[in-house]
């Protein structure tokens, strides 16, 4: 997509900063393999959930690379040395429903983190997000927030979620998604929100139902069944 020129080497493409959005494509053979399993229409709900959990590990691993650590003295069975812990574990916010499938894995890797929740359902005629719940700390001033949603399609849902978060005072939001469409990335850029986005793929575009192409279908239905 214009303005974003992913490199072809390494575990992570170099981050490109475009209009306040810092974009990283986590491109790795293991990520491609998990994503392919998720894309395949023959993959059942359980296998889809497993592949999403594994992909989430890779996204979290990369997205936490720059977190600050605090030193603390520890004693091994052999001697005293310096240990490390996260100085300020980020708040984890899965976007319901589909982000739920990433939540346990992210929390397992960030066990000291708190978790908030945002519930959004996209109206499939207008493609606008409809909010049905938010359970978040009153103030997010000075806090890093990691938002989990496997799909960035038009971007409406993530802009809505991130605006809820910035309204509570955070200036540091990291979005983790399995797949992103160029339209959604543009929408995030236009929002002016200060964001980092980690995704395993930037797909070709959207179809006339605003589904990502080639995509993987409805990420909520693929995990939990159609409701």
Count interface residues toward ligand PRP (CB under 6 A).
22
Residue span 49-88 as binding mask against ligand URA, x where in contact by CB under 6 A, dash where not:
----------------------------------------
8 is in an annotated binding site: no
**E strands in 76-110:** 80-86, 91-96
Residue in the structure block whose two tokens are 């279908």: 217
CB nearer to ligand PRP: pick between 31 and 188: 188
- Do residues 154 and 126 lie in contact, with contact meaning Cβ atoms separated by under 8 Å? no
Q: Which of residues 153, 176, 197, 202 is near ligand URA by CB under 6 A?
A: 153
The footprint of ligand URA on residues 98-127 (CB under 6 A) is 98
Residue span 150-189 as binding mask against ligand PRP, x where in contact by CB under 6 A, dash where not:
xxxxxxxx--------------------------x-----
Q: Which residues, 6 or more positions from 192, have their beta carbon under 8 angstroms from its beta carbon?
A: 19, 20
- Do residues 154 and 174 lie in contact, with contact meaning Cβ atoms separated by under 8 Å? no
Q: How far is the CB of 73 from ligand URA (least distance, A)?
A: 47
Report residue 225: phi and psi, to 5°.
95, 155
Q: Which of 125, 133, 177 is nearest to 155 (CA)?
A: 177
The footprint of ligand PRP on residues 67-126 (CB under 6 A) is 95, 97-98, 120-122
Query: Kindly report the CA angle at 86 between 95 and 110, in degrees rounded to 5?
Result: 35
Count interface residues toward ligand URA (CB under 6 A).
9
Q: How far is the CB of 154 from ligand URA (least distance, A)?
A: 8
Q: Any idea what DSSP says for residue 158?
A: H
**From residue 108, how far is each of 21, 86, 102 by CA, in Å?**
27, 14, 10
Give the largest CA-CA distance in the chain. 64
- Do residues 24 and 59 lie in contact, with contact meaning Cβ atoms separated by under 8 Å? no
Q: Pick from ligand URA, ligand PRP, none: which does 90 bind, CB < 5 to 8 A by kind?
A: none
Q: CB nearest ligand PRP: which residue?
A: 220
Binding site residues, ligand URA, CB under 6 A = 98, 151, 153, 211-212, 215, 218-220
Binding-site residue ranges: 97, 122, 149-157, 212, 217-219
Binding site residues, ligand PRP, CB under 6 A = 95, 97-98, 120-122, 127, 129, 149-157, 184, 210, 218-220
């Amino acid at each position: 997509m214009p303005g974003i020129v992913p490199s072809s080497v390494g575990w992570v493409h170099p981050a490109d900063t475009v209009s306040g959005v810092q974009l990283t494509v986590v491109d790795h053979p293991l990520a491609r393999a998990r994503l392919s399993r998720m894309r395949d229409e023959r993959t059942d709900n359980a296998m889809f959930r497993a592949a999403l959990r594994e992909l989430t590990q890779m996204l979290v691993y990369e997205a936490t690379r720059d977190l600050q650590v605090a030193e603390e003295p520890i004693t091994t069975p052999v001697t005293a040395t310096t240990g490390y812990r996260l100085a300020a574990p980020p708040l984890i916010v899965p976007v319901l429903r589909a982000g739920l499938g990433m939540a346990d894995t992210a929390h397992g890797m960030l066990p000291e983190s708190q978790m908030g929740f945002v519930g959004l359902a996209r109206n499939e005629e207008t493609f606008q997000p409809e909010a049905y719940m938010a359970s978040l700390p009153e103030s997010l001033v000075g806090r890093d927030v990691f938002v989990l949603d496997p799909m960035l399609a038009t971007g409406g849902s993530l802009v809505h979620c991130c605006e809820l978060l910035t309204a509570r005072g955070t200036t540091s939001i990291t979005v983790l998604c399995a797949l992103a469409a160029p339209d959604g990335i543009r929408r995030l850029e236009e929002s002016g929100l200060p964001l980092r986005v980690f995704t395993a793929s930037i797909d070709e575009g959207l179809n006339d139902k605003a589904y990502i192409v080639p995509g993987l279908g409805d990420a909520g239905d693929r995990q939990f069944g159609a409701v």
